[in-house]
Structure 1
């Protein structure tokens, strides 16, 4: 196993320690989260457990998505049905137990992360 060291740890802890992130820093972090999730979706992967605790930061504040243990491949026209992830971040489709395509639950998680980054500003 090859792993990359994320010296600044979880985004959740990073936000909690600082209580307030500058707007430029928040924008940079959110842009990277959005880009990483887009890359996953473009390659047919949905994370399904995206939360502040699963977003890591390196020394230069580069975002690293972590914990793909609940991720799955998705294909256009095929619905996923597994209820998984963290309830506080879960998309309505997952909470209601409805079948879902994949990217929409990832987008909901991205929006939740954005709110998490902004709420302490």
Structure 2
């Protein structure tokens, strides 16, 4: 049912004019602290589908002017109230991969994943 579905979409715009750092004190590679995407624009979208009272499926997709694409999908399961386990897979495609980043995921195509245990009290 549609009441189990929650979606979002957002966009960002920023010029590259003020992102020059000749000292490379912050090696942003043409990006900035507040504008992490490549080019002038980026879009993000995603959502959550609640499968049942304990299980939800989440996804998020991002794309920017530099043809960089990121996709994340996970399933979160509430084992007991306050204890959630989440399994996630991630894909990253660098359309413009002319820089290094802190993740070391600077190949043209990268895959990743995680298993998260979260205790809330």
Q: Which has the higher helix share?
A: 1
Q: Which has the higher strand share?
A: 2
**TM-score over 0.5 for the pair:** no
Higher relative contact order (CA 8 A, sep 6+): 1
Normalised to the residue count of structure 1, the TM-score between the two structures is 0.30
Higher Rg: 2
